[in-house]
Amino acid sequence: WDVSAVESAKKVVVPAPEIKWTVPGMKRGWKDDEGNWWDEDGIRNGPPMNYWRQRADERYFAKDVKVMEQVLDASDLAEVDMKQLSLQVTRPLMNNKLMGVWAPLVRNGKKVGGRGESSDLLETPYTITVRRSGLRRLGNTTGYGTFDAHFDKGERAEVTVLGSSFTLVAVEGNEVQEIGNVNGDEPLTFGNISCLSDYLLVMKNEDGSLREFWTRAEPIKSVSKEDAARIREEFEAAQATKE
């Protein structure tokens, strides 16, 4: 999905979040009303492998989407039950989940996004891209795939909005950083993050009110083996020239 391909002067159309499975290629399992276990291959003798990971993925997704739906339907954002969400990472401004393409539904306490023409689409005034400044750097490959490395303390991230780029500094705390303005009069800030997940980035004001509510415009995906080898080679070559 290329979000830049479906945009006008006033809106960008992006896909609504879809569930991200932790285990690649996992066969989804379920239990019927008679107590029989099934997966896509048919009936099973007990739950399929990784079923409990599947159920956790489904719970996390359902929780985030439920709050997103409340934000989309709310006439007063103060009525949204934000207590359903929690911060599951210790250093959100250094976490690799901060990277990606985001679609803001709330900016500076005002709802700016909404539903698209179909249930699988959302509309937002623009997207916000967060990436590592300089060359891409990957973390270790695990059984779950290969993803961007977390930021180091003091490392810079590049934040791009409407063709303008701003700098965000990775820090251990969660304090607010004002990094620039969008459209000349919309402050762009990061910090006081209350939720950072596979689907949402939520930030609050000091009084606990909702300041920012963003959903991913592009899902997190594992880097292929071939791309990972190339990215690592480019990074190592660049490091060698500095020595």
Q: Read off the pLDDT band of 150 (50, 70, 90).
A: very high
19-21-22-28 Cα dihedral, nearest 10 degrees: 140
Task: Supply the pLDDT for residue 5.
Answer: 39
Residue 54: pLDDT above 50? yes
Average pLDDT over every residue of 146-166: 96
- Give pLDDT tens digits for 177-225: 999 999 888 899 999 999 999 999 999 999 999 999 999 999 999 999 9
Q: How far apart are CA 53 and CA 64, in angstroms?
A: 17
Q: Read off the pLDDT band of 7 (50, 70, 90).
A: very low
Q: How far apart are CA 209 and CA 195, in angstroms?
A: 13
> Minimal CA–CA distance to 133: which of 115, 119, 152, 118?
152
Residue 2: pLDDT above 50? no
Q: How far apart are CA 91 and CA 93, in angstroms?
A: 6
Task: Supply the pLDDT for residue 24.
Answer: 78
pTM of the model: 0.90
Q: How far apart are CA 175 and CA 70, in angstroms?
A: 27
Task: Supply the pLDDT for residue 48.
Answer: 83
Bridge-based pairing state of the strands 37-39 and 42-44: antiparallel
Task: Supply the pLDDT for residue 1.
Answer: 43
> Minimal CA–CA distance to 13: which of 129, 125, 99?
125
Task: Supply the pLDDT for residue 185.
Answer: 80
Q: How far apart are CA 223 and CA 83, in angstroms?
A: 33
